[in-house]
Every structure is written in structure tokens, then in C-alpha cells.
Structure 1
Amino acid sequence: MKYGDALEVFRDAGPYGVAELAARAGISRPTLYRLFSGAVPRADDLQELALAAGWELQIDLAALSDPLAAVAGRALLGDDTVAEWAEAAEAWRERITRFAGARQGRQREAAIVDEAGRASAPGKRPGAVRLRGEHWRVDRLVSAGRASEQRWALSGWAALDALGIDAQAPTIMWVEDARKVGQLLGDSFRPAHRDDADLIVAYAHLSVFAGATAVQDVELVSPLQAFIDAAGLGGDARLQALIEFGRTS
């Protein structure tokens, strides 16, 4: 549940009016009204509001993989093809700017790619399917993508190879329904562990397809998206992508 949804529960489902809820939580009524109007609460205020309304607040940690971080990274680097999602990614734009620090020039641009990749990590995307196969070819992914009747595009090793970058990395297949495409590939691949996957089939935010191109029937993400995805994979993919990005930016 998002904090905005929790505040609605505290306001609408509890037995207390605004004045009483504010008093019970130890915060002022103007502050509570601002929170109900969309202001972001402090963690301690949210905790006190939950207890005052008869709820227990529980916070879970999950691996970070937010596609809007990639949107923000691309926007910061001047990619106009993601303008449609730039407003939604504004918070990530501010974060990545902070994360990149005081670096300048190519170092700053590489830091943006790196930070956007870490925060949008494809392998950590909820519902991602990790697969391993022997002697598979890219045309098998093409046929599965077409059979899914949905949008799809390749990144990871496939995109880096198309850019002339030699890196040890799994291919990423960005799709709209990872489970469906994983099933379509069941005749050529088997489930893999975290570190031995040849292929990661992951849910794609529509921004992933912005700037994508087809090369001999193979749909590939844009070069900038490929660099960000590689940074998110970590290891050799990250290292080689950042080296090449520094050369070409």
C-alpha cells in the first residue's frame, strides 16, 4: 500500500475526525491537512498516524528496479524520445542528479548512466523470468516475441553485441507479459539461477521501446537504453558499457 492510500484509510475508515486524529498523533491540524492534500509525510508522522488510527505500520524492503529511473537518466542525457514520461520521472531526475554529485563532463554523463542503471536494474524487476538454454539463437527470441503478439525488444548482451561491445552478460528480453513469453520459450530454455542465466525476460515500461530499432527483424532498444540496462546488470556488462559510453559520449 502506498502512503497516500494509507492516509486515506486513516481519514475515511477510522472513527476519528481530523482534529481528534491530529491530536492523537501529536501533529498539528494544518500538517495533517497538508498530508491529506498530497504532501509527503515524514516516517515518524506516518507511524504516529497509523497508531493513532488503530493500525500498525509495517515497512518492507524490496530490491530496487524502477523503470522511471531509466527514463530520468535518458532525459538528463538529452533523449527527447522519453519526453512523454519525463514528468512522471521528475523525482528520479532529482535523485540521479544528486547521486551523480559534482562530477563534470563525461564523468558526470557516465555517472548518470550508472545510477539510472542501478535504480532500474532489469534482473531485479518484479516477475522477471531467468532462463538458460543450450545452443539457442536470437531468432528463437524473435519468434517468441512475434508469437506473444505484444511489444518486445532485446537489450543486454544482444544490444551490446550490436553496438560492437564484447561483454559477458545475459540477453534481456523486454516484454509486456514476462510469464507468457517465458512459457513460449519453454522448449528452448530451462529455469536458471540468479548468476547463470543466459536470458532475462522482464516486464517493460513502455518507455523502454522509445527509440528502439529493428535490425534484420531483431527489435533492439536504443543505444542509451542499452547502456543503462547494462549498468543495471552489473559485472562485466556494466564495466564494458561504461568504458564504451565514456568513449562515445
Structure 2
Amino acid sequence: MIPLARSSRIAIPKLGLGTWKLAGPEGQAAVESALALGYRHLDTADRYANEAEVGAGLAASGVARGEVFLTSKVWHDKLAPDALRRSLEGSLAKLGTDYLDLFLIHWPAPDMDLAAAVAELERAKSEGLVRRWGVSNFPLGLMRRLEEMGAEPACLQVEYHVLLSQRALLDWCRPRGIALAAYSPLGQGALASQQVLAEIGRRHGASGLQVALAWLLRQEMVVAIPKASRRETQQANLDAVPLAEKLTAEDVAAIDALPKDWRRVNPDFAPDWNS
């Protein structure tokens, strides 16, 4: 059973399936496999160009729509209200659903009218097209801007793993009931070679990657969405859920002591992360 990150703003499964680069028949099969194993949280985006496959996988799985937490996102060049609405409607059509559990602004844009975008998100929420809305890749300064406008995002999705601290954002989000969803929670697989993680894993009969995931899952209001196309990898990620409760204080201290400045995702259109 996957626990929930729960607050007055959101209740979201702490482990989900990230679907970036999962397209075509492989993408649909990955979604079906994850749902068969017990996943109930799927994360996609207009930019991934795989919403049709994600929707087909959900439909073929036999799992009721209401049992699955479904997230999609709007790209940063579609944040004007009309464009945002068209993107949302396109996502709903491709996913074959009447609503999203969570709809995110995928990246901020320097010239965006944030207030207008938020107003459109709130309108979509009031119409039942989205249950909750949030943002992705927003630094602390933009989160403060949202609060200053009276906006209440339910989730912030950012890169977060054992080698990249998000302490400032966590300290901001937690008291407000905002879930922090970690994408690339395994450093896109690169954490497999991290010796500290491997050593901790050996003590628990687990892999270093499972330890890295467990470190995230044990944290209050933190959600992880690792991509996994193979059933074996999906199951290994699921097995990190009970491992989260078995990590010792010494294990956690050793992980906390690792460098925390290794960012994997930093495109040329990224915001100033320190702003």
C-alpha cells in the first residue's frame, strides 16, 4: 500500500510513475504494468507527447479512473489564458478523461502573466476540469509571488534527490500544506554508482537506488515519481516504500552528509534557481 502525502490542499500517493520518454507501445505497456503492480499515481505532460499512451494504458488496465491520481502539465509557451485552456483541453482529450487530479505549469516563463495564468487555473478548477493545480520548476521567489497574489498551489514539482538539496523549498511548502514532488529522484539512474547508498543498501538487502528513493519517501509531504518502463524496476521502486521505515538514524545521517549541489536538469530556459 502506497501512503499518501496529505494536507488541506492535497492527498497524493507518495510514489508515482514518471512517464517522461515513455511513449508508443512501450509507454502504454509501462502504465498497464505499473497499475497492475499497485501504482495509483501517474505523471505526464503535454510536452512528453505521450498522453494518448498514458490514457490508453489507464483505460486498458481495468483500474477505475477514480482510483488513479493523474497529473499533467502545460508547457511554458502556453501560459496565456486561451493557450493554457487549449493545452488543458488537449491533455484531457488525449488522456481520455474528464478531469485531472493535478495540473501543473511545467516551467515558468520570464514574460508570463502569472496572475492571468493562475486565474485560468482557478477557473478550470471551478469548472471541475482539474481537482487541484500547482507548479513545477518554480524557485522560492516565484512561490512567494504566488502567495502574495493569494494563490494556493497544491504541489510544487522540482528535481530532488540525495545529491540535490531542496531544503529552502521544503521549508516553504510544508507549513503551507504544499506537496513537493521529486522528479529525477534517482538522478536519472546515475545514483546507482554512489557508494554510500550501495553500502547502506547492502545492510538492508536493497540496492543503492532503492535507498535513495526510500530517503525521499520517508520525508513529510515529499512525493517521488521515478520513471520506470520495466516491471522489475517498477517493483523495485515499490519495494522502497517499506524500506523508508527501516532506514536508521545513522543511514539518514550518512545520506544527509552527501554533497547536495548536483543538478541534472538545467535547460537554457530554466529560471534562476536562487531567485
TM-score tier by shorter-chain length is under 0.3
Name the TM-score, length of structure 1 as normaliser: 0.28
Name the TM-score, length of structure 2 as normaliser: 0.26
Structure with more helix by fraction? 1
Q: Which structure would you say has the larger Rg? A: 1
